[in-house]
Amino acid sequence: MAQVVFSSWGRTIVDNRAGGEVKEASFRLPTTFDGEKSLAAFMGWDGIILYDKNVDVPAMAAEYMRRVQTLYCCGKCTPGKKGTKVLADVLTAIAEGRAKEADLDTIEDLADLLTSCKCTLCQSSTVPVLDAVKHFRDDFIARLSGSRMVADRHRFIDKYTAPCMDRCPAHIDIPAYIEAIKEYRFDESLSVIRDNMPLPSVCGRVCPHPCETHCRRKNVDDAVSIMVLKRSASDYEWMHNMAPPMQPKPRKGKTVAVVGAGPAGLACAYYLALEGYPVTIYEALPEGFGGGMIAVGIPPYRQPRHLLQRDIDIIASMGVEIIYDTRIGKDISLEELKQKFDAVFLAPGAHRSKPMGVEGEDKGYKGFLKGGIDFLREAYMGRPTGMGKKVVVVGGGNTAIDCVRVALREGAEESVLLYRRSRKEMPADVWEVDGADDEGVRFEFQVLPTRIIVDENEQVTGVECLRMALGEPDASGRRRPEPVAGSEFVVECDTVIPAIGQDPDLSFIPDNLGIDITKWNTIVTKYIPLKDAAGKELKDGMGNPLVRTLITDLDGVFAGGDAEIGPLTVVACIGNAHRAARVIQRWLEEGKAYLTDDEFIEDILTNLPVYDKGEQVPWLDSVAREHQAEIHGRERAGYKNYQEVELGFVDSQAVREAERCLRCYRVAMVAV
Amino acid sequence: MVSLTIDGKDIRVAKGSTILEAAELLGITIPTLCWLRKVSPTGACRVCAVEVEGVDRPMTACNTTVKDGIKVTTQSEKLAKIRTKIMELMLVNHPLDCPVCDAGGECDLQNSCYSLGASKQEYGAVLERRTIRYDWPLIESDPNRCILCEKCVKVDHEVVGCDAIEVVNRGEATIIDTHDGKPLNCEFCGNCVGVCPTGTLISKPFKFRGRPWAFTVTKSVCPFCATGCQIEYHSRNGRVERVTSDDETYNSGNLCINGRFGYSYANSSDRLTDPVVRGAKADWNAAMGAAVAGIKDVVGKHGSDAVAGIGSPRLTNEENYLFQKLFRAGIGTNNLDSEARLGYASAQKVLRDMVGITGASAAIDAIDGAAAVLVIGCDLNAEATGMEYRVIKAATKNDAKLVLANMRGVKLKKFANSHLKYRPGSEVAVITALTKLILDEGLEDKDFVGSRVNNLAELKAALSGVSLADVAAGAGLTEADLRAAAKLVGGKKTVAVIFGADIMRCGQANDAVKALVNLALILGALGKEAGGLFPVYEKTNIQGVLNMGVVPDSLPGYQPLSAAAAFENAWGRKLPETAGKDFWQIVEGIEQGSVKALYLLGCDPIASFPEGGRIRKALEKLELLVVQDAFPGEAAKLAHVLLPASVAAEKTGTFTTIDGRLQCLGKAANPPGDAREDWDILTELYNRLTGESRAATPAGIFAEMADLVPRYAAALESGRVGTSPHAGSFELAPAVSGTVDAADPSSPFALVAGAILYHSGTTTSWSKNNLEIAPEGYIEIHPEDAAKLGIVDGAGVKISAAAGSATGQARVSAKVQPGLVFAPYHFRSMNVNSLLGRGAVFTAVKVEKA
């Protein structure tokens, strides 16, 4: 087990350099950087963590500051631009034995002055440097006289990040795109977004925006409205009839097939197309219904079809061919694709409804629909849904909410949601639940559907339910809901839609191809095992190995999106597919599917993570979060009214909101 | 309102104010360096750091919004230390070339170091030097002197909307540069130079012309476009060496290339310096004598109406007033006109008749806050750059929706929510279709229309016959384009409707302006706190020319000829009773022999009017041609008597903008050689013709004029002579056609001649600075057409029309539409004006390789 030699991380000093009784410290860091090379030291905005006592700390501090100054400092404030220049030069002079002891005071003096910086980048970079000077002063003094020159063999790898950008699964450079809006440069903002997000109109509208949960402005008042600002940048281009500026690189020879025109498939295709690769996407649904789960799973009142189509058209215009109405495994086999193309990316999504486990659901009753996602798809495509007038939806996720809201728009007189836990515990986004409330949906919380009631014609007439109450805490301390005996009651209805969840339909992958599938019905991809100090393997939020190359066990075949991660979010699929695109490119060009240092450190930081919700952020909380305009009332959910409900910011409002951003950039550097 | 305490003093300020603004109200000065009122706060320099009680870090006053109950401290030992140290940091590696730096003496960095006590240097760093950009035209950049305040970048982006420069690189290497590192290629407004606090961005023409304090600074008004920006001339030894503008002016210190660099026309070595009589240099006495004798001779032989005069929008109100007085009272004829006849005069007549305004319906700052802006038939960038800045502000800062209707993809396109790239000849149809769509969708201003418009039903009935499909097809648009545009301008609280040369000089100009007034009325554009109806003209004092009565059919102030009594009393002479000839009638009169003498005041119709060839022939026929001008233009070459005159910087007087602002010129320089101020020449001529001996000064002339012209007397105080729409109800113009002029199938190309940003009329073709950027004319042609004709970018192109032909270099650009070529009309050498017919700014042409 790796032992911490020294740490100042989180402002707690652990110093085991002198020997004696070992003080324990543990961090969410792996013992190796890439499965092989040991992590010797970590330096960043919150201090230093030293695992290897041979690391030359003064040299590392000098290198850290040099990188901050020359690679990342934006130069846009005086203390940052000039202060880090003076610091970098002083530290270099010390490391090279050309300095005086008084120069150490300059470091302290400047660290103090840099609290006046415009943002946190240069300011936070003084933290580990100051810790180094303070706790490794002898090493510095030794360098001043040039008496101790260490030949440190360690290599440094750095990463420029911010809490929001780290948390965003697509790692969009959020502070940069917000700063561009602050400067009235919506076009530049969109360019930054597109570097990591090819569906900006979508993720400006329907992203669950995990970034906002890691927004440092939250430590002052409320998070910056990061998602709606993305929409502002995206809508600006559309509202000004601007042509997207991207120019794909010259066309290359090797070709790539993508299965599924959902967020993962589109993103992978987009980034490969920009690199010049001819990409062909095969989509099971007919033309006009591209977009995968964004199209058939997110109703148009949340994501207007024409804007989704605009994003898709832009991707296509980069040199991506989309072949619609073609299902892999039925119209063309996976083996054929594999033969025809140099690489194949599987992103079929998760479109199969899970059963709800209630008596009668498998009997084929009239009015008992297949599943939430199927209902949404049929409604979206304007086909008969089989829905009646009194609709009950079972579930607590966003799909369930979409179903009750779409049911109203499809003409339901009553739309009821049944969920076995409380409102607070719903996995659906709060604003979606509120939206349903606003439109007149009836909620039954803490109920368990037990039986479907039908009449003599096998037509559904109701659902029998039990009330639920919280039981005793279980081993994990969580109180599970348990049925209350004798609390049976019936919710009358003519339609029941189970919206319990989805999983991928991977029947198109033949068993004999060697592509492995997990017990959760997701595609297995190769990974690099990273373990923490306790020997525990690091996992992502879905229980997958943290660092994956996204190549399957079959050479040349890659996988991503919901079918690889497990059903998650648009933004997660895009981040995952963007990485897949990079790995596919390496595979096509070098014959190897591998990850770069930058990708390793990216995943390591995400696991750390970058955001610290306990951090005291001194700032004047004088500007409250802006809220986008919204259409309210039941009319917005009238029959066939799929008009967009949320209206976005006007530009001046976007600029005001952008001004709230604290630009929480910071630099991490590891020694390996 | 928000209450707060600053340095122990309580203040209430509007919500959303910054600490800096609140302190300003209290009279507390917080030091700033990068802060610039007219752009968004940058927070780069950090010297405005203040302490807010309870917040454990300094906050910058310039971009921190106030909060109820906060206690702010602006001066403390800690803050003083921070500010001093920041200045010291700013000076790390700053070159100490103040003795030869152009900004020395007017450098904000010098001043800040001095006032913040940065008297020593505790910090040092390895010196890195950046390349000085000597290779940019007009502007030089020395990044070593830059403090990264970003004022230049922000003005360039937020005010000008040009995006020529940006912050590039990282860390100490961060500088302001062009985005591609190539030499600057921009609008050359020099507003970046204007806001640069140091000697980083400097004017090359001004470099080493002298120390800033050695110049006399004279407040004046820009002599180029009708925006009428307020400027300051910096002159020494009777010569203007630079032009600046203060941020406190109406135009917030913003100028365009003409305003900032165009002054070099005054210093041109081509200036006329001596009077010339029949080809020979003469003294003033001889020249005046020849002019007067010539006029008297013609009057004697052929009567007063054998004399005619053309006034000038380049000259002051006083001078135009004297000019018409010379003709009416001195010679006895109403044969008076000006280039307003080319379009502005008749557009103005429509405005007067329909809504009772003689120019714009409101001052141009009413554009800033409009909720929607329609710019139609106007390249504001070229015709009135200062107004374009306001439209950009409305669209970017104030959330206005912007519809651009223009045959070409002009600069405003990038800010526009809709660009209607209509075909020449479809102006009326497009306006009519927009009107119909707004009414069909119920997007008219119902309150305004209900209470102020008489005959909506008639208009609606007339519009019912308009086919949107036909209009769209004829105009080269789609119905969806038109509908989207109508929705953008319709249903808004305030609307600004701005129109320019392409409307006022289109074939159906009268109908187009009427249709546009209809549109403005139903949109409720008139008479509100923001928005309005704004005609645009490229030259400064066009409004003054008309207000002063340099027209054949009315007296100053639009008073009818029948109201001559007051003028006769004031002037002591009898005035002619019948209306005179307008410009084209004068030309015909010369051709037919009824007009024998012509006086051209500050204008050169051969080069700047349509049918230049015909005009030249007519001028050659004259018995007497008197030309009073500062430059030897085409007409001057034919003059029998040539009177060397002065330019705006060389005289006092007033200009009237189209939106009715009356502004004073300041005399900053002396006319070269024996050249004299125009009012002085006109006064002497008047005296010689009438035998009077009245001395005159511009102030005296103004006083005389103000007695006779409504609104001018009070305007010296108020600064406003503008008219507001009349108070009663408005009558919409009867149904206007929705049909499109069919294109002439034999001539597949239309030439549109127009202004470009880098010049103003033909005047700046005498300006070295402007010519450095735009030395000659060119012909802009669509890539598809260029490909068909085998024309490549930069190759020679010949365009021929009935009236003649012109040759220039091709600029292949999708800004024009297929079938349309554009050529700037500023260049005497190319003279595309001569290809035009009198009725329109476009004409059918043949295009071929030269």
Tens-place pLDDT, residues A315-372: 999 999 999 999 999 999 999 999 999 999 999 999 999 988 888 888 899 999 999 9
CA atoms of B402 and B371, how far apart (whole Å):
9
Range 624-663 of A in CB contact (< 8 A) with B? 650-652, 655, 659
- For B535, residues 6+ apart whose C-beta sits below 8 A from its C-beta are B344, B347, B348, B351, B359, B360, B499, B500, B504, B658
CA atoms of B223 and B767, how far apart (whole Å):
13
How far apart, in Å, are the Cα atoms of A45 and each of A64, B304, B704?
11, 89, 75
CA atoms of B404 and B426, how far apart (whole Å):
15
What burial letters (b/e) apply to B69-80, b meaning 16+ CB within 10 Å?
Answer: ebebbbeeeebe
- pLDDT average, residue stretch A420-440: 92
HEC readout, B730-768:
ECCCCCCCCCCCCCCCCCCEEEEEECCCCCCCCHHHHCH
Strands B804-812 and B778-781: parallel
Determine the pLDDT at residue B734: 85
What are the backbone dihedrals phi and psi of residue B658, each rounded to the nearest 5 degrees, phi first?
-60, -30
Identify the closest residue of chain A to B413 by CA–CA distance. Answer: A240
SS3 A82: helix
Identify the closest residue of chain B to A109 by CA–CA distance. Answer: B85
Which chain B residues are Cβ-neighbours of A75 within 8 angstroms? 148, 167, 169-174
How close A431 comes to chain B (CA, Å)? 27
Q: Is A245 on the interface with B (CB under 8 A)?
A: no
**Do A116 and B92 count as a contact with CB atoms less than 8 A apart?**
no
Q: What is the largest CA-CA distance in chain B?
A: 92
- For A648, residues 6+ apart whose C-beta sits below 8 A from its C-beta are A204, A228, A231, A232, A235, A628, A629
The answer to whether the CB of A493 falls within 8 A of the CB of A416 is: yes
Determine the pLDDT at residue B735: 66
Given CA atoms A238, A243, A245, A247 in this order, what sign does their dihedral have?
Answer: positive
The answer to whether the CB of A303 falls within 8 A of the CB of A311 is: no
How close B497 comes to chain A (CA, Å)? 19
Alpha carbon A160 to its chain's center: 17
CA atoms of B23 and B30, how far apart (whole Å):
7
Calculate the CA dihedral of residues A243, A246, A251, A253 and round it to 10 degrees.
-120
Determine the Cα angle at A54 with ends A52 and A57, to 5°: 95
Identify the closest residue of chain B to A659 by CA–CA distance. Answer: B63
How close A219 comes to chain B (CA, Å)? 13
Q: Is A67 on the interface with B (CB under 8 A)?
A: no
Determine the pLDDT at residue A477: 78
Which chain B residues are Cβ-neighbours of A66 within 8 angstroms? none
Question: What confidence tier does A2 reach under pLDDT thresholds 50, 70, 90?
Answer: low
Q: Is A203 on the interface with B (CB under 8 A)?
A: no
Domains in chain A with CATH codes: 6-161 (1.20.1440.230), 256-351+503-597 (3.50.50.60), 355-501 (3.50.50.60)
- CB-CB neighbours of B208 under 10 Å: 9
Segment B696-702 long-range contacts (CB within 8 Å, at least 24 positions apart) = B696/B322, B698/B316, B698/B318, B698/B651, B698/B652, B698/B653, B698/B654, B699/B652, B701/B318, B701/B321, B701/B322, B702/B317, B702/B318, B702/B653, B702/B654
How close A408 comes to chain B (CA, Å)? 29
CA atoms of B825 and B777, how far apart (whole Å):
8
The answer to whether the CB of B80 falls within 8 A of the CB of B99 is: no
The answer to whether the CB of B46 falls within 8 A of the CB of B2 is: no
Determine the pLDDT at residue B839: 78
CB pairs under 8 A between A and B: 145
How close B17 comes to chain A (CA, Å)? 10
Cis peptide before A609 (omega within 30 of 0): yes
**Tens-place pLDDT, residues B346-367:** 999 999 999 999 999 999 999 9
**Tens-place pLDDT, residues B67-118:** 999 999 999 999 999 999 999 999 999 998 999 999 999 999 999 999 999 9
Range 364-403 of B in CB contact (< 8 A) with A? 396-399
Output the pTM of the full model: 0.96
Residue of A66, A183, A628 for testing the chain B interface, max B β-carbons within 10 Å: A183
Percent of chain A at pLDDT exceeding 70:
99
Q: Is B165 on the interface with A (CB under 8 A)?
A: no
Which chain A residues are Cβ-neighbours of B157 within 8 angstroms? 183-185
**Tens-place pLDDT, residues A92-141:** 999 888 999 999 999 999 999 999 999 999 999 999 999 999 999 999 99
Determine the pLDDT at residue B337: 98
Tokens of B844: 């059918």
CA atoms of A207 and A200, how far apart (whole Å):
10
Determine the pLDDT at residue A149: 64
How far apart, in Å, are the Cα atoms of A492 and each of A380, A391, A392, A455?
26, 9, 9, 12
Adjacent-strand bridge partners of A282: A259, A323
**Do A106 and B46 count as a contact with CB atoms less than 8 A apart?**
no
ipTM metric: 0.95
Residue of B45, B156, B170, B198 for testing the chain A interface, max A β-carbons within 10 Å: B170
Which chain A residues are Cβ-neighbours of B126 within 8 angstroms? 89
Q: Is B56 on the interface with A (CB under 8 A)?
A: yes
Closest CA to B751 of B672, B684, B709, B808: B808
Q: Report the residue count for chain A.
A: 672
SS3 B677: coil
Q: Is B45 on the interface with A (CB under 8 A)?
A: yes
CA atoms of A301 and A293, how far apart (whole Å):
15
User: Helix H segments across B668-824?
Assistant: 678-690, 698-708, 712-718, 768-773, 783-789
Determine the pLDDT at residue B487: 98
Please list the ranges in chain B whose pLDDT falls under 50. none
How close A193 comes to chain B (CA, Å)? 19
Tokens of A466: 């039990």
Which chain B residues are Cβ-neighbours of A99 within 8 angstroms? none
CA atoms of A460 and A390, how far apart (whole Å):
10
The answer to whether the CB of A379 falls within 8 A of the CB of A591 is: no
Determine the pLDDT at residue B668: 98
**Do A184 and B158 count as a contact with CB atoms less than 8 A apart?**
yes
pLDDT above 70: residue A78: yes
Which chain A residues are Cβ-neighbours of B396 within 8 angstroms? 184, 651
Percent of chain A at pLDDT exceeding 90:
90
**Do B46 and A78 count as a contact with CB atoms less than 8 A apart?**
yes
Determine the pLDDT at residue A148: 61
How close B562 comes to chain A (CA, Å)? 53
CA atoms of A18 and A282, how far apart (whole Å):
63
Tokens of B529: 């706190």
CA atoms of A217 and A219, how far apart (whole Å):
5
How close A508 comes to chain B (CA, Å)? 44
Q: Which of A74, A86, A239 sits opposite B170 (nearest CB)?
A: A74
Determine the pLDDT at residue A147: 66
Q: Is B545 on the interface with A (CB under 8 A)?
A: no
Which chain B residues are Cβ-neighbours of A623 within 8 angstroms? 65
B492 sits in which H/E element: none
Identify the closest residue of chain A to B150 by CA–CA distance. Answer: A76
Determine the pLDDT at residue B737: 67
Determine the pLDDT at residue A256: 98
Q: Is A180 on the interface with B (CB under 8 A)?
A: no
Question: What confidence tier does A1 reach under pLDDT thresholds 50, 70, 90?
Answer: very low
Which chain A residues are Cβ-neighbours of B63 within 8 angstroms? 659
Tokens of A659: 């001004």
Given CA atoms B437, B438, B439, B440 in this order, what sign does their dihedral have?
Answer: positive
Q: Is A78 on the interface with B (CB under 8 A)?
A: yes
